[in-house]
Amino acid sequence: MNFPSPVTALWLADFINAKISGDANASATGINELHRVRKGDIVFVDHPKYYNTCLKSDATFIIINQETDVPEGKTLLISDNPFEAYQKIVSHFRPFTPSHQMISSTSEIDPTAVIMPGVFIGNQVKIGREVIIHPNVTIYDNVTIKDHVEIHSGSVIGGNAFYYNGKKDRDVWYQLMNSCGEVIIESHVDIGSNCTIDRGVSDVTRIGEGTKIDNLVHIGHDVIIGRNCLIAAQCGIAGGTVLGTGVILWGQVGVNKTISIGDNAMVMAQSGVANSLEGNKSYFGSPAEEYYSKRKEILLARRLPEIWEKVRGK
């Protein structure tokens, strides 16, 4: 999430009650997750396992719960509870704003768009030319839908990321990280019935131009789907994953978080994608492997009883 205007480290330190180590006059331009962080961004870390990764990231500001050497070009904001500091910053710059009407007055809808009865459109939503949104679709805040998009009944766009801070030393182990990200649906995308597309935690979930999504598909937070992809019914894509151009996922494929699938890859039905896949190949199985080698393996497994009987007979 980018801030409306930059804020200084001095302001941030006062706001979250943190100690500054580094350049107190540096200005932050936004807040982001580690895997999407950019120069000028704030990131938080509260576990030693991730200290080094955060300190070496592109983030300019790091909210951290331990004093340490300050890398060149960084400013540390030392806080007893970095997670709560993150929550406070997000709530300040993107507070929850309830809607009291079906279509928010802050939305921008092109006059050629068709919005059918029962559609809810939240705050700061932008809808482009010749979009068709069928009954009972819910579009949360900060969603952009570009031109010639069609969304079928029951789909929910822009819900909270399934993203929790977990600690077992407190009564409530899992606390939701406030989502301040967005969803962008590029032009000529079709979205089937009862799909769910979560907004980014602090960045964007993006559906690429020309992509077609079947019914009952779930797309997690911060997923980036390339141009002209096909995603069949009951697929699930976990957060932070990137699909290239022309990727095809057939029915009931499950895709792990923070991995990538290369351009023009095809994943056969009911496969489980645990690790990143190269492009221009077909895959099958769980964990998904190259289709033809996996097919040979399955055929050989079917012959094992026959082979065993021949071995016993010698």
Active site positions, annotated: 221
**R_g of the chain computed on alpha carbons:** 23
**C-alpha–C-alpha distance, residues 145 and 149, integer Å:** 7
Closest CA to 17 of 70, 84, 74: 84
**Taking a C-beta distance cutoff of 8 angstroms, is the pair 97, 123 a contact?**
yes
Three-state secondary structure of 204-232: EEEECCCCEECCCCEECCCCEECCCCEEC
Return the exposure string of 177-215: e unless at least 16 CB atoms fall within 10 Å of the residue's CB, then b: bbbbbbbbbbbbbebbbbbbbbbbbbbbbbbbbbbbbbb
**C-alpha–C-alpha distance, residues 21 and 206, integer Å:** 36
Closest CA to 279 of 226, 239, 236, 214: 226
Task: Find where tokens 């949104």 sit.
Answer: 133
